[in-house]
Amino acid sequence: MGFDFIGDIHGQAGKLEALLRKLGYVEKAGGWVPPYLRKAIFVGDLIDRGPEQVKVVKTVRAMVENGRALALMGNHEFNAIGFVTQHPQDPTAFLRRHSPKNISLHAEFLRQVGCGSALQLELVEWFKTLPLALDLGGARAVHAWWHQPYVDLVTRQLPSGKPMDEDFLHAAYNRGSPECLAMEGLTKGLEIRLPPGRSFVDHGGIERYDVRAKWWEGGARSYRDVAIVGAHQLDRMPECELPPGYLGGGPINGTPVFIGHYWMEGTPHLQTSKVACLDWSAAKAGPLVAYRWDGEQELDGARFVAAG
Ligand SMILES: [Mn+2]
């Protein structure tokens, strides 16, 4: 069985259809059908930002339910769950706060699905069934960071097929709990706090004091070595030593790992011979990107397929 790992779609149904076509998938009455002995693996973040989010979810969901695909949970699906789940101590509040920032990040989804609609709740119930990490034998996939202790914790609490229940959600939104650290790590990646007085403005115009780190980077020494920021912001990243206890610092061994999440820019390329990021900013002007995998243990940059 070969796998086509597909990056963050963020409601870009046109790019999704173009990519599936380019990969040789065929649209039939019951949904898209892969070429013989292949399966699509979506690395998460189906929703938020783009113009046709409901269509994207329905397309992917149909493929999953027909056994043509697997889909991981991204941070945007996890946020969508928390957005509608009541807070256990405060019945007027939700696990994910309805702050102006959180509402604006989710506004397009709410507008398209209908805020408070039955459809919104139906889609969220499906999001709860999405796995956080997939070990497919010769390859692995996670939305943002394959960190084995976090994979183990979540696999223990949510064994395959068990949807995320309220107990798990309450723990996962309890800041600092093992469940919260695991969910943040798997879906948002490794983030490190910048030294005092340092910050930068992210792609969404929000001032950030934590920066996403290249957890796959072997031999990294400074913040600048690992910071994932736009090229024009790299000189704002300090060259001082990484904090003690830094959890990244590859190299990644074992089977290859496929990820999304990181808003990469430019021409799709491998992160290492074992790590491929498939998020090349399809939510904005970038293409939707897949990696066509046929069992190889050393990844090949010529196997990226981009559309849109
Ligand atoms: Mn993401």
Going from the Cα of 74 to the center of ligand 1, the distance in angstroms, rounded, reads 5
Find out whether 302 and 270 touch, Cβ atoms under 8 Å. Answer: no
In this structure, what token pair is assigned to residue 265? 């820019």
Q: For residue range 26-52, what is the model confidence (pLDDT) as tens digits?
A: 999 989 999 999 999 999 999 999 999
Going from the Cα of 244 to the center of ligand 1, the distance in angstroms, rounded, reads 26
Q: For residue range 219-235, what is the model confidence (pLDDT) as tens digits?
A: 889 999 999 988 888 88
Q: Which residues, 6+ apart, have CB-to-CB distance to 163 below 8 Å?
A: 125, 128, 129
d(CA 206, CA 203) in angstroms, rounded, equals 7
Report the mean per-residue pLDDT for the chain: 95
Question: Is the confidence at residue 214, as pLDDT, over 90?
Answer: yes
Going from the Cα of 10 to the center of ligand 1, the distance in angstroms, rounded, reads 9
Domain-by-domain residue ranges, the chain? 2-146+254-307
Going from the Cα of 96 to the center of ligand 1, the distance in angstroms, rounded, reads 16
pLDDT mean over 107-124: 98
Domain 2-146+254-307: CATH superfamily, name plus number: Metallo-dependent phosphatases (3.60.21.10)
Higher pLDDT, 213 or 252: 213
How large is the angle between the packed helices 100-113 and 53-65, nearest 10 degrees?
70
Going from the Cα of 189 to the center of ligand 1, the distance in angstroms, rounded, reads 9
Going from the Cα of 192 to the center of ligand 1, the distance in angstroms, rounded, reads 17
pLDDT score of 95: 98
Going from the Cα of 254 to the center of ligand 1, the distance in angstroms, rounded, reads 24
Question: Is the confidence at residue 160, as pLDDT, over 90?
Answer: no
Going from the Cα of 120 to the center of ligand 1, the distance in angstroms, rounded, reads 20
pLDDT score of 249: 79
Going from the Cα of 157 to the center of ligand 1, the distance in angstroms, rounded, reads 22
Q: For residue range 269-307, what is the model confidence (pLDDT) as tens digits?
A: 999 999 999 999 999 999 999 999 999 999 999 999 999
pLDDT mean over 165-190: 97
Going from the Cα of 75 to the center of ligand 1, the distance in angstroms, rounded, reads 5
pLDDT score of 234: 87
Going from the Cα of 150 to the center of ligand 1, the distance in angstroms, rounded, reads 17
Going from the Cα of 29 to the center of ligand 1, the distance in angstroms, rounded, reads 30
Going from the Cα of 78 to the center of ligand 1, the distance in angstroms, rounded, reads 10
Going from the Cα of 43 to the center of ligand 1, the distance in angstroms, rounded, reads 9
In this structure, what token pair is assigned to residue 217? 């980077």
Q: For residue range 250-266, what is the model confidence (pLDDT) as tens digits?
A: 788 899 999 999 999 99
Cα 135 to Cα 5, 66, 99, 131, 256: the distances in Å are: 13, 20, 36, 11, 10
Going from the Cα of 97 to the center of ligand 1, the distance in angstroms, rounded, reads 18
pLDDT score of 233: 86
pLDDT score of 126: 98
Going from the Cα of 155 to the center of ligand 1, the distance in angstroms, rounded, reads 20
pLDDT mean over 175-179: 97
Could you say which DSSP state residue 275 is in?
E
